[in-house]
Amino acid sequence: MNTFHRGRRLRSRSVLRDMVRESRLGREDLIQPYFVVEADPDFKKPIGSMPGQFQLGLNQLLNEVGPAVDAGLKSLILFGIPVEKDPAGTQAYAEDGIVQEAIRRIKSRWPELIVVADTCLCEYTSHGHCGLVSPEGVVQNDPTLALLARTAVAQAQAGADIIAPSDMMDGRVAAIREALDEKGFLDTPIMSYAVKYSSAFYGPFRDAAESAPKFGDRKTYQMDPANWREGLREAAADVEEGADILMVKPGLPYLDIIRLVRDNFDLPVAAYQVSGEYSQIKAAAMNGWIDETAVALESLIAFKRAGADLILSYFTQDLLKAGHI
């Protein structure tokens, strides 16, 4: 009599494999990032370090979003690139700022589409840091909070469905929550970049968003990649301050952190498959070394297996259009 485990019994046919699949990926799980520029509305420029992604003027943004919505896109996140930058990042919270205008146009065309607004100053500051900088070159935490709160309110007033602070200033979730509530946006959720590491995987994004720091780095406010207990402290702080969704960024190199956050907090968990992760897959596929679609799908299911409810991924739009999700 055979006494060994026969796991292949449930792998013999595709229908059986589908029946017992433990992790599933749906359209509602995915969020497509877009880079919108305050230039010619018909501007469209390929991002060299992110093949298949573009900087888009307002008209071109709508041209991209439309077919994606038709293919099943449920949610997107916007990153803005203004014409003028200054030390205080004033275009981040200007009523006519590029992201605010993009939100209004998208929501007027597709009111049911969930629009997430990235809330940060780095794309809008002339020095490229995520907060105000002192004359000595130190990123100032507390004075930055008021500007982040103003940005969140401006985005909510424009129609953003979710506010997503990515700056990693201490106390920003509480400041944003208080500001939103005071302006009547009690039901606008905050998806906090709660556990955001100072990662080398962000390089292509900084090309795309034109947000690289002009001096120094972001290690004084983004986390050390070697730390996991610190990540739990950061997530706990954001929960206490009023976050509704907790994000881990980057994604695949930090699957262990996603699992820790999932196991320790009873909130939805998001994961960001960042630009470096995307570009590595694209580059290998362009060289014929891997099957791009298969690897992209496998990487996304890894997030679900680790415990993520939501995934920000640059593959979203193309996978939807191709009918893979």
Q: Is residue 182 part of a domain?
A: yes
Q: Is residue 140 part of a domain?
A: yes
CATH of residue 96's domain is: 3.20.20.70
As to burial, measured by CB atoms within 10 angstroms (0-12 exposed, 13-18 middle, 19+ buried), residue 159 is middle
Question: How much is the pLDDT for 39?
Answer: 84
Question: How much is the pLDDT for 206?
Answer: 86
Query: Is 27 labelled a binding residue?
Result: no
Q: Is residue 68 part of a domain?
A: yes
Query: Is 314 labelled a binding residue?
Result: yes
Query: Is 299 labelled a binding residue?
Result: no
Give the whole-number percent of the chain exceeding pLDDT 70.
100
Query: Is 84 labelled a binding residue?
Result: no
120-175 tens-digit pLDDT: 999 999 999 999 999 999 999 999 999 999 999 999 999 999 999 999 999 999 99
The residue-averaged pLDDT of 25-44 equals 96
d(CA 153, CA 147): 10
Q: Which token pair is 65?
A: 């979003």
Mean per-residue pLDDT over the chain, rounded: 96
CB 82 within 8 A of CB 91: yes
Question: How much is the pLDDT for 216?
Answer: 83
3-24 tens-digit pLDDT: 899 999 999 999 999 999 999 9
Stated pTM of the model: 0.95
Query: Is 262 labelled a binding residue?
Result: no
| Closest to 308 (Cα-Cα) out of 249, 259, 274, 266 | 259
Question: How much is the pLDDT for 222?
Answer: 95
2 has a pLDDT exceeding 80? no
1 has a pLDDT exceeding 80? no
Q: Is residue 272 part of a domain?
A: yes
Q: Is residue 116 part of a domain?
A: yes
Q: Is residue 10 part of a domain?
A: no
E strands present in the chain: 30-37, 44-46, 54-56, 75-81, 114-119, 162-165, 191-196, 245-249, 269-273, 310-313
Q: Is residue 176 part of a domain?
A: yes
Number of structural domains found in the chain: 1
Residue 142: give the domain boundaries. Answer: 23-322
Query: Is 12 labelled a binding residue?
Result: no
Question: How much is the pLDDT for 276?
Answer: 96
CB 176 within 8 A of CB 163: yes
Q: Give the catalytic positions in this structure.
A: 196, 249
Q: Is residue 3 part of a domain?
A: no
The residue-averaged pLDDT of 302-312 equals 98
Q: How confident is the model at residue 209 (pLDDT cuts 50, 70, 90)?
A: confident
